[in-house]
Amino acid sequence: MTINIGTAIDSPVRVDPVTSRGDLQKFIAIPWKVYADDKFWVPPLKLERRLHLSSHNSYFKNAEWQAWLAFRDNVPVGRISAQIDAVHQKFYGANSGHFGFIEAENDPEIFKKLFEAAEDWLIERGVAYVTGPFNFSINQESGVLVEGFDTPPSILMPHSRQWYGPLIEGQGYRPAMDMLAYWMESKVFGENPVMNKLVKRYGPKVQIRPLNKKIFNQELEILRNIFNDAWSNNWGFIPFSKEEFAELGAGLKPFVPDGYI
């Protein structure tokens, strides 16, 4: 794959912290500018983004963060966040931190200034190594797209411009883990020999039923326990709290057809 990496423009880049509601609105709006000509980008709901970035997000019970905007000639051209998650530190060390929400025009200078701001903030708080992007944690949008730019993202998947990977690596970062997404046609969900054997062996002991939306919160707790157990040995795992999973479930509930869970 060959792409053109932008070159710095003469007009200087300024990076300011997000400190007001107006700043946050500009922060949320950056992707609409970056992906204006990308037909595969799926815009998020701005209301959902505002809620996700608000103090009502239960993620902030155990985390702190700061966001920045990059400007050129007083026009927003990029954004980034830095966050420190106490739950992640409990699992992976007290000197770990994250960056996230990276979106910017194709210009190395913008990426350089944004990462300098985020890294300085993290270093001041004792962080020695940084991974990302996480928006905010591995249980939400994670990673940067490096292949498949001609496909739209699904729920909780990131979408990126082709220059993101090279320009992030240009700041000294290296890939930590490959995250894969798969396209599957419904016809592949047919007879499965392994599954048939399991059904024969354990069928009488196993009950299969659809999720009951009438007791949605109780069902979510079952799903949360299953998820946390199933993913506990995966790279970067941190468990969903009850509050975080309830927020995720409430966001997905309107879009999940009956019988799909």
Provide the residue ranges of all domains of the chain, joining segments of one domain with +: 13-169, 186-255
Q: Which CATH class is domain 13-169?
A: alpha beta
Tell whether the model's pLDDT for residue 4 goes beyond 60. Answer: no
Higher pLDDT, 3 or 41: 41
Query: For the residues of 122-156, what is the DSSP string, one character each?
Result: HHHTT--EEE--EESSTTSEES---S-TTS---TT
Q: What integer pLDDT is reported at residue 206 of this predicted model?
A: 79
Give the mean pLDDT of 120-129. Answer: 96
**Contacts with 27 (C-beta within 8 Å, 6 or more apart), sequence order:** 18, 53, 67, 69, 79, 101
DSSP category for residue 189: S
Report long-range pairs for 172-175 (Cβ below 8 Å, ≥24 apart): 173/130
Q: Considering only 101-115, 131-145, 182-196, 221-235, which range has the smallest mean pLDDT?
A: 182-196
Q: What integer pLDDT is reported at residue 113 of this predicted model?
A: 98
Q: What integer pLDDT is reported at residue 2 of this predicted model?
A: 42
- Give Rg (Cα) of the chain: 21
Tell whether the model's pLDDT for residue 246 goes beyond 70. Answer: yes
CB 172 within 8 A of CB 189: no
